[in-house]
């Protein structure tokens, strides 16, 4: 783990479905940049392809291997390699190796990425405990609405996605079907204590890859 992330205030998140162990560091540059360390178990992978509409992510491999697919292009990164994912690029990553991969990740601007990671892991733990193969559709719609600045589904126009997700999320709230999701969101409190601003459910906050040569 890098010295910055090992410092007091670092927060660890475990995701049993993806094999991710995430350590969130303190936000930098007035909260505009989030640095976090990803430890990905052998065979672990992010659950699905996705894009970050407004954020750039960079992945610097510290140990092991990381396989990425960025806008249809495949990249295999090893120790010392840095891979950048520009805003809006659909991407996916996995650990193809036999040992854990350790990756330093930088997200800019930070927005509410720390809270997204916390809530996503809480939903994954709940899904894992219930032995469900997929997340509950209502909770997924609520999640995608709340973090629409930070993440979107691939290959679906934002306007079309919003036209589907927002009415479903609104109806869930009206019918009281969002209670469990609210509980899971509340478990994101540790991430907010690390410096990320809190957001009420249903109220998206306002806004405050190219690979480097392998070495």
Q: Are residues 142 and 170 in the same domain?
A: yes
Domain shared by 99 and 14, yes or no: yes
Q: How far apart are CA 116 and CA 35, in angstroms?
A: 14
What single string gives the DSSP state of each residue in 17-81? TTTEEEEEPPPBGGGTBEEEEEEE-TT-B-SS-BB-SS-EEEEEEEES-EEEEETTEEEEE-TT-
207 inside domain: no
Co-location of 40 and 117 in the same domain: no
24-33, 41-50, 84-93: range with lowest mean pLDDT: 24-33
Rounded to an integer, the average pLDDT of 2-24 is 76
Question: Is the domain of 85 the same as that of 133?
Answer: no
Residue 205 lies in a domain: no
User: What span, in angstroms and rounded, lies between the C-alpha atoms of 149 and 160?
Assistant: 15
Residues 76 and 17 in one domain: yes
In angstroms, the first-to-last Cα distance of the chain is 20
As for how many domains the chain has, the answer is 2
Render pLDDT for 149-174 as a digit per residue (tens, 0 to 9). 999 999 888 888 889 999 999 999 99
**Percent of the chain residues topping a pLDDT of 90:** 70
DSSP state of 152: B
Residue 200, in any domain of the structure: no
Looking at the fold, whether 100 and 156 belong to one and the same domain comes out as no
Top mean-pLDDT range of 109-113, 202-206, 210-214: 109-113
Instruction: Please tell me whether residues 62 and 155 are part of one structural domain.
Output: no
Question: Do 68 and 150 reside in the same domain of the chain?
Answer: no
Does the residue 35 lie in any domain?
Answer: yes
On whether both 10 and 51 belong to a single domain, the answer is yes
Domain co-membership, 30 together with 71? yes
Rounded-to-integer distance, Cα 135 and Cα 100, Å: 26
Specify whether 175 is located in the same domain as 188: yes
Could you report the per-residue pLDDT of 161-208, keeping only the tens digit for each? 889 999 999 999 999 999 999 999 987 555 444 444 444 444 444 333
Instruction: Note down the domain range covering 40.
Output: 3-108
CATH of residue 40's domain is: 2.60.120.10
| pTM for the structure as a whole | 0.80
- State pLDDT tens for residues 51-74: 999 999 999 999 999 999 999 999
Structural domain includes residue 206: no
85 and 25 part of one domain: yes
Q: How many CA atoms lie within 13 Å of 32's alpha carbon, on the beta-carbon side?
A: 3
């Amino acid at each position: 783990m890098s010295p910055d992330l090992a410092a007091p205030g670092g927060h660890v998140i475990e995701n049993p479905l993806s094999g991710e162990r995430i350590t969130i560091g303190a936000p930098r540059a007035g909260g505009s940049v989030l640095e976090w360390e990803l430890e990905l178990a052998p065979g672990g992978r992010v659950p699905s392809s996705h894009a970050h509409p407004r954020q750039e992510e960079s992945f610097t491999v510290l140990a092991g291997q990381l396989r990425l697919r960025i806008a249809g292009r495949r990249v295999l990164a090893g120790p010392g390699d840095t891979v950048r994912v520009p805003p809006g690029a659909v991407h996916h990553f996995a650990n193809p190796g036999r040992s854990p991969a350790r990756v330093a990740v930088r997200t800019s601007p930070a927005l509410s990425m720390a809270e997204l990671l916390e809530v996503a892991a809480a939903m994954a733990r709940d899904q894992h405990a219930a032995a469900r193969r997929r997340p509950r559709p209502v909770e997924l719609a609520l999640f995608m609405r709340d973090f629409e600045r930070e993440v979107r589904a691939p290959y679906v126009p934002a306007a079309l996605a919003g036209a589907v997700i927002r009415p479903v999320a609104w109806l869930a709230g009206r019918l009281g079907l969002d209670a469990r999701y609210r509980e899971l969101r509340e478990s994101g409190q540790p991430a907010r204590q690390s410096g990320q601003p809190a957001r009420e459910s249903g109220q998206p906050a306002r806004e405050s890859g190219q690979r480097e040569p392998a070495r």
